Amino acid sequence: MEKLDLSQLDNEEKALEIKFIINRYIKYWPWYIGFILLLLTASYIFHRYTVDQYSVAGTIVIKGNNSPEAKILDRSSIFSGQGNLENDILMISSKNLARETLAKLHFDVEYFAKTNIKPIELYDRSPIRIEVDWNHLQITDTPMELEILSGETFRLNPSEGGFFDLSPAIASGDDGLYNKTFRFEEWIETGKSRFNVHLVNPGRVGDMVIVTLRNPVALEEILSRSLGITLVNAQASVLEIRMNTTVVEKGRDYINSLMDSYLEYELREKNRNAENTLRFIEEQLSFLEDSLQKKERELQNFKVENRMLNVSAEFSQILSRMNTLEDNAQAMDFQLAYFAAIKKYMEEKTKDYSQVIAPSVVGIPDPLLNGLIQTLVTLSQDRRKLLASLNENHPEVNKIDVQMEKVQEALFENIVNLIQNTEIQRASLQRDINIYDSQFATLPESESQYSSIFREFKLRENLYTYLLEKRAEAGIARASNVSDNAILDYAKRGTLVFPKKDQNYIMAILIGFMIPFGFIVIKDIFDDRIRDQRGLKKHFMIPQLAVIGHSKKDTNMVVLEHPKSAVSESFRSLRSAINYIAPDKKSKKILVTSSVSGEGKTFTSLNLASAMALGSKKTVVVGADLRRPKLASYFNGSEKIGLSTYLIGKVDVKEIIMPTMNEFLFYIPSGIIPPNPAELLQTDRLKELIQYLEENFEIVIFDTPPLGLVSETIDLMRLFDLNLYVVRQDYTMKDHLVMINDLFNNKQVKNVYGVFNGIIDSGYYYEGYNYGYGNTYLYSQNNKYMYNYYGDDLDEKKKLIKKSKGFFRKLISKFKA
């Protein structure tokens, strides 16, 4: 004998389970399509009425402070380029720089095209341009409709807002402007407004433009916060400046102007030292010019009065030495004055060194001093940048303060040493000057006076020449200054960032699918009813004997009145299964029960009895549900006598057996409702009745009360050969099956089989068949061979199709008419 491959059966069962799960949820496809279409429509409407936002970006190269002096003073990386980048980021996003940028642009007035869908900003495509006097009181953030009447006049009206505009803010407008005609190029002034309207495009007569004035101070706040500044690469000092805007051209112009303004600011800061030096030199030159002219006139007058044309060689030699010494002394005095000014800065503990002049500019070639002061000036500039957008207690400002304190300590110590050394040199130089002064005393009086005047003149002349040279050098330095930073890429194009249409449509499809799918899954999780054979198998441990299809007939006597229907065939299958289970029984006693009322036990009992009778089996069906008698009503009989009257001994057994239209089918009604139905079903007369029926009928079927509601049914089940437990699709609760499962597992009842009633969807699909459990089959409506046999159902389907065709013909004829 060939060995059975159990693994192959297991794989087939798994495949069948997967098919069930797929078909379980695919059958709800109209809900999926409906929700997907709904969300796609909602997405389209959202895109239609939403203003698109674009991302615009430009890049700028920032050069850090890598001066060797900084590295010598501090090796703890506090002067790293990253710190400078953070300062530059704060400066670029500051409101001060936003103010300078807005001064170059025309953002204080917004122009929109009048539409009923969504606002469309015209920006540079506006046919008009408004010049606003911000020194006057202005009504801002209130839209006004400007209608171009002709090439010379226009009218202002309050904006009514679009369909989706919930806050048009008309109440806060200027009523003195509305519903009036004005002329272009003329100033319009009221108590709340003052502006001038220029017509840019005369060919747009008749257009309606919505105008909104925006407060420049509020714009500074908004635009400074709208920037996103990031480092492009960790290995490079390149910053990307990005912002979101509804108009690409507007965002592009702002970012480009912002980068230009930043470079201009950097250049101004770089030129500040040169400008301070020039200012200082100009002041000194102005003073020396008057003094030099005075000494020149004094020297000329002295020579004319004393008729002196030349001086002796000895006098010339002494005078030359004296001039050299005086020049050196003057230079030292100049250096001491500079050192004293720097020391005063140190002693005042100031944080602003923007006015400090570099030593190299004033002729002090000390590299250490130059490096220290340059570093201190750079830190002071960085601090000023931070304070443009931060307060003094911010960690970044405190970090620069710590750096400045370190440089100040080194600079103060260096200045004190320089002052001491210079004073010593100055004292030595003064002694040499005094020696030459004593030599001058031996010269004649006229020559002595001349030499004194000439010496002062040469001193001022040399100093004047020196300052002229320094002024030229400072001017050249200022003219040749360029910003250390540079724009790498100007902003040009914009990228759509909101709404992301493709992504939204994909999300709409996914969500449209997941909403009904999730609802169905949750519904299945919390569903406590038996929905299909899969759920029945999971919660019903009793073997299933048959499945009964859902009947759409108007009668409960389906087998007798519609013997060719699909439901009738399912009862024939049940009949065959019963004959297979108990083939040796001459008379079969069958009990039919269920969990609760309404699950179809009476319907099953009645039609099973009818199927047995049609098979020429003498059958009797007994209405044993004494609490809710219904059996007699199906045969149009009376409940005056029946099982209850027999059990109390009022009638004989032959009196309660009633015939039907079928010669093989009989029934016993329940009789009147007794006060003690449970006790009556426990009497010996019931056993006598069962014995009598077993002797006189081939099939005995008892329609009993529901097992979950009464207690006597359990006792009755022990008296029968076969017990059928009816479970109804979409009706029976899962918890109701707990009792019969426990009874079956504990072997308190025997010969119990399940009947799945009212099947519309049996649960398993495979090539047109719905497979049940055991050896039973239910032919579904999608079987194309089904109607070849079941003529009744075929006739009903034909009638339904005919009615549908007739309806559509009438509908089409109405449209044609």
Q: Is the dihedral of CA 528, 534, 536, 538 positive or negative?
A: negative
pLDDT of residue 369: 80
* Strand (E) or helix (H) holding 391: none
List of E strands, 490-623: 494-498, 544-549, 588-594, 619-623
pLDDT of residue 2: 45
The DSSP code for 547 is: E
Would strands 109-113 and 180-183 be described as parallel, antiparallel, or unpaired?
unpaired
Q: Which two tokens stand for residue 53?
A: 């936002």
Task: Annotate 440-456 with b (16+ C-beta within 10 A) or e (fewer).
Answer: beebeeebeebbebbbb
Residue range 556-596, pLDDT digits in tens: 888 988 888 889 999 999 999 998 887 777 788 999 999 88
Q: Count of CB atoms within 10 A of residue 434's CB?
A: 10
Which phi and psi angles does 611 have, rounded to 5°?
-65, -40
Whether residue 499 is preceded by a cis peptide bond, meaning omega within 30 degrees of 0, is: yes
- Helix pair 248-306, 367-387: axis angle to 10 deg: 140
Would strands 699-703 and 588-594 be described as parallel, antiparallel, or unpaired?
parallel
Q: Is 214 left (phi over 0), alpha (psi -120 to 50) or beta?
A: beta
- In this structure, the chain runs to a length of 817
The closest of 351, 340, 355 to 385, measured between CA atoms, is: 351
pLDDT of residue 166: 45
Q: Would you state the torsion angle of the CA atoms of residues 486, 488, 492, 498, taken in this order, to the nearest 10 degrees?
A: -100
pLDDT of residue 168: 45
pLDDT of residue 80: 41
pLDDT of residue 667: 94
- Residues in the chain where the model's pLDDT stays below 50: 1-4, 6, 65-83, 163-164, 166-171, 307, 309, 311-312, 763-791, 814-817
Residues 113-117: contacts with CB under 8 Å, at least 24 apart: 113/208, 113/209, 113/210, 114/145, 114/208, 114/209, 114/210, 115/162, 116/162, 116/163, 117/48, 117/49, 117/162
Q: Which two tokens stand for residue 761?
A: 């969807």
Distance of alpha carbon 208 from the chain centroid: 36
- Helix pair 81-92, 395-440: axis angle to 10 deg: 110
The closest of 433, 464, 169 to 292, measured between CA atoms, is: 464
Q: How many Cα atoms within 13 Å fall on the side-chain side of residue 711?
A: 5
Residue 308 amino acid letter: M
CB-count burial class (<10 Å; 0-12, 13-18, 19+) for 313: exposed
pTM score over 0.75: no
pLDDT of residue 355: 64
